[in-house]
Structure 1
Amino acid sequence: MKTGLKPSILGLLLLPALGMATGCSSSDPSPEAAPPSASSASSASPGGPSSSATPSSSGTAGASSAPETSAPESTQTAPEAVVQSPQPAPVPTFEAQQEQYLQDKVPEGIDPNAVLQVGQERCDQLLSARAVDEESVLSELIMSPSQDTADAVAALCPELQPVLDAAALGFPDGVFSVGGAAPHGEQPSIAPGTYRAYGQPEGCLIMVYAGSGELLGSFDGSAPVTVGADAARVESDQCYSWFRS
Structure 2
Amino acid sequence: MHLRSAAATTALLLASALTLTGCSSSGDTKADAAPAKPKPPAASPAPDPADATTPPATADPNAKPTGPVLPDAQLTPKTGSFKANEKQYLSGRVPNKTDPAAVLQTGQETCQRVERTAKHDKDAAAAAIASGELTGARDAITYLCPDQKPILATAERGFPDGSSKDPASGIYRAVTQSTTCTWEAKDTDGIALAWGPDAPPKPGDRITAAIPAGTATFTSTNCYAWLPA
TM-score bracket for the superposition, by shorter chain length: 0.5 to 0.7
Aligned length, in residue pairs: 146
Structure 1 runs of 4+ aligned residues shifted over 4 Å read 89-92
Matched, 1:214 2:214: no
Cα RMSD of the aligned pairs, angstroms, is 2.2
Distance 1:145 1:103 in 2: 24
Displacement of 1:216 in angstroms is 2.4
Specify whether residues 225 and 177 from structure 1 end up closer, same or farther in structure 2 by C-alpha distance, changes over 3 A only.
same
- Structure 1 residues 98-113: aligned runs within 5 Å: 98-113=86-101
Determine the structure 2 residue equivalent to 1:170.
158
| More contact order relative to length (CA 8 Å, sep ≥ 6) | 2
Matched, 1:129 2:113: no
Distance 1:156 1:169 in 2: 21
CA contact (8 A) 2:171 2:210 kept: yes
Distance 1:117 1:177 in 2: 34
CA contact (8 A) 2:89 2:139 kept: yes
Determine the structure 1 residue equivalent to 2:23.
none
From 136, 139, 143, the counterpart of 1:148: 136
From 196, 215, 220, the counterpart of 1:236: 220
TM-score by length of 1: 0.54
Displacement of 1:110 in angstroms is 1.5
Matched, 1:194 2:171: yes
Distance 1:102 1:232 in 2: 37
Compare CA radii of gyration and give the structure with the larger one. Answer: 1
- Percent identity reads 32
Question: What residue ranges of structure 1 are gaps of 5+ in the alignment?
Answer: 1-88, 179-189
Displacement of 1:201 in angstroms is 2.3
Distance 1:130 1:94 in 2: 27
- Structure 1 residues 1-245: aligned runs within 5 Å: 92-144=80-132, 148-178=136-166, 190-220=167-197, 222-245=206-229
Displacement of 1:204 in angstroms is 0.2
